[in-house]
Amino acid sequence: MPKKVYIIILNWNNEEDTIECIRSLKKINYNDYKIIIVDNGSEEKSVLKIKKQYSEICIIKNKKNLGFAGGNNIGIKYAINNGADYVLLINNDTIVDEDFLNKLVEAGDSNESVGLVGSKIYFYSEPNRIWFAGGKVNWLKNKGTHIGLDEIDKGQYDKINDVGYLTGCCLLIKREVIEQIGALKEDYFLYYEDTDFSLRARNIGYKCVYVPESKIYHKISRSTKPGSASYVYYHARNGLVMAKRTGSFLNKIILYPYCLFLFLKQIIKIIFIATKREWAFAVLKGEKDFLLGKMGKAK
């Protein structure tokens, strides 16, 4: 008997991508799934366009933008309360292969120790160029990195593998994992909530499994461009928070000396490298907010 999968799509004023994502999901060959749209405080016209195209799909409306974690958690709670065996988080700016979900569930069902499962993700605009083939954490920099990023796919990442973390862009989660560790940490607001979730699952014995035969295509973030001050701020702050919460005892010991190193490095950039001053200030703000315990949406 197939496992019941609830697919959670977060929408925020980006109905055209959401509709294209739904259209591709409607073509998959997995039988027992239900799509849930969580609208994160969009303008009314965004929701109405989705309803017009797909009136049968459940849409949960949030009054305001709760961030990636907060929005998805609304969908996760709904899915668990309605008997989901698996919850799939998927970005609205993706399209999927028709058998992507079959491959994910097969991997999830293959072993009790498998808790989280993720796809091979390509660039939408270059469907043979890899965006994600599993993730690993660089604890020297408190940073999550994508395996295979920007590489042309020549079969170099075609083995199922237990990886350091999986991206929330496409993340299949067993019900038991959510019941044991809870949902996503909402105070990250943006970025690293998926890395944190993966590490918490790994810390209680679950595996994060990358499945290359499951393929999707990602348009990459349109709301926050990589390299923007906002992007740099959240990565700086949330990487430090992730290390404090989920790192080893050694990671936690060296965390504050690392903060001093990071501070000095940014001061040098501000003084001597004019082109990097904006980024340096964003890093310093992220570090300051980490040290002060300021979380959530940046102010």
Please calculate the CA angle 103-12-286 and round it to the nearest 5 degrees: 95
C-alpha dihedral sign at 233, 95, 59, 87? negative
Q: Which two tokens stand for residue 83?
A: 């008997």
- Where the chain has pLDDT below 70, the residues are 221-226
Q: Are 169 and 195 in contact (CB under 8 A)?
A: no
Q: Are 265 and 257 in contact (CB under 8 A)?
A: no
Q: How far is CA 38 from CA 72, 74, 102, 218, in A?
A: 7, 7, 23, 19
Q: What pTM does this model have?
A: 0.95
Q: Are 216 and 96 in contact (CB under 8 A)?
A: yes
Distance CA(214)–CA(286), nearest Å, equals: 35
> What DSSP line would sit under 95-155, residue for residue?
EE-TTHHHHHHHHHHT-TTEEEEEEEEEESSSTTBEEES-EEEETTTTEEEETTTT-B-SS
pLDDT of 226: 61
Q: Which two tokens stand for residue 238?
A: 């949330």
Tokens 């697919």 -> residue:
7
pLDDT of 2: 86
The contacts of residue 77 (CB under 8 Å, 6+ apart) are 183
Q: Are 187 and 295 in contact (CB under 8 A)?
A: yes
pLDDT of 299: 85
Q: Are 123 and 216 in contact (CB under 8 A)?
A: no
Beta bridge partners of residue 209, listed in sequence order: 117, 162
The contacts of residue 253 (CB under 8 Å, 6+ apart) are none
Angle between helices 277-292 and 229-246 (to 10 degrees): 40
pLDDT of 185: 97
Q: How far is CA 3 from CA 34, 57, 86, 168, 169, in A?
A: 11, 20, 7, 21, 21
For residue 12, count CB atoms less than 10 angstroms from its CB and return exposed for 0-12, middle for 13-18, buried for 19 or more: buried
Angle between helices 44-53 and 15-25 (to 10 degrees): 20
pLDDT of 225: 55
φ and ψ at 24, to 5 degrees?
-70, -35
Beta bridge partners of residue 129, listed in sequence order: 152
φ and ψ at 229, to 5 degrees?
-60, -40
